């Protein structure tokens, strides 16, 4: 905690935690797989936990590598639309993150609504606060980090997109803040390639090496499948 003085009034504020890539990987190794996937989504896309809890498979177009944010969950309430108008957006997915999602789609708890992260008993979205208390905080303490929470990953994502040289205007779009300037909205479509490039650079830093190897192996398989019919297959 820090003490901030404002004209005679003393107010406590929490110091923001920003992870290094090494700290992030150490933390990830201490978590069970379903929470690892949630954390990878948070780190690769900068999503809020209210948005991650509300994800459904219908929100994804994995072929086009696009996620459409359509809702959020606060407490037990599902809200159509994001936290702000700016939160409702199409989010570019890196191909390596798509690989993670395709794997998770085969393992996740099936529900009628298609929730990505549902409780096996209730079939309802998992509770972010419970996961933070029972998993994130203890995992952080194990690797020497106190106070790790869901917003830690959003702060870290913001730092990473800045570190990889993302222009400020694109950062505002990626963070989906409500205070985007009119010029940013007017030329929003022009930022699509920049948004995807920024997210790919962050994903390259935070996704485990095993995911990258799996993607390379899959690329080789696709290459073989695309051989022309007249090309003889190797037996």
Predicted confidence (pLDDT) per residue in 61-113, tens digit: 999 999 999 899 988 888 886 554 445 678 999 999 999 999 999 999 999 99
pLDDT over 90 for what percent of the chain?
49
Q: Which residues pair with 3 in a beta bridge?
A: 12
The average pLDDT across 154-180 equals 77
Confidence check: pLDDT of 204 > 90: no
Predicted confidence (pLDDT) per residue in 133-145, tens digit: 999 999 999 999 9
d(CA 176, CA 47): 9
Predicted confidence (pLDDT) per residue in 17-50, tens digit: 889 999 999 999 999 999 999 999 999 999 999 9
* Residue 173 structure tokens: 């779009």
Given a contact cutoff of 8 angstroms between Cβ atoms, the answer to whether 140 and 26 are in contact is: no
Q: Which residue has the higher pLDDT, 137 or 157?
A: 137
Number of H helices, E strands in the chain: 11, 7
Mapping DSSP to helix (H, G, I), strand (E, B) and coil, where does residue 165 land? Answer: coil
* Res 94: pLDDT: 94
d(CA 129, CA 134): 9
Does the pTM of the predicted model rise above 0.85? no
Domain architecture of the chain: domains with CATH: 12-216 (1.10.443.10)
């Amino acid at each position: 905690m820090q003490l901030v003085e404002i004209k005679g009034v003393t107010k406590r504020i929490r110091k923001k935690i920003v992870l290094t890539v090494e700290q992030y990987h150490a933390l990830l190794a201490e978590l069970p797989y379903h929470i690892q996937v949630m954390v990878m989504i948070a780190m690769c896309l900068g999503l809020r936990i209210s948005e991650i809890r509300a994800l459904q498979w219908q929100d994804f177009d994995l072929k086009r590598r696009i996620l459409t944010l359509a809702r959020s969950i606060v407490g037990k309430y599902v809200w159509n639309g994001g936290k702000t108008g700016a939160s409702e957006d199409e989010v570019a997915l890196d191909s390596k993150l798509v690989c993670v999602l395709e794997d998770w789609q085969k393992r996740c708890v099936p529900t009628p609504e298609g929730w990505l992260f549902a409780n096996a008993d209730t079939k309802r979205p998992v509770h972010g606060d419970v996961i933070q208390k029972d998993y994130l905080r203890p995992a952080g303490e194990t690797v020497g980090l106190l106070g790790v929470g869901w917003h830690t990953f959003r702060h870290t994502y913001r730092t990473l997109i800045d570190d990889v040289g993302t222009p400020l205007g694109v950062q505002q779009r990626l963070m989906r803040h409500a205070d985007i300037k009119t010029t940013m909205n007017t030329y929003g479509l022009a930022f699509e390639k920049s948004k995807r490039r920024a997210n790919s650079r962050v994903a390259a830093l935070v996704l485990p090496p095993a995911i990258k190897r799996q993607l390379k192996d899959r690329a080789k398989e696709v290459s073989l499948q695309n051989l022309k019919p007249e090309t003889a297959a190797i037996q």
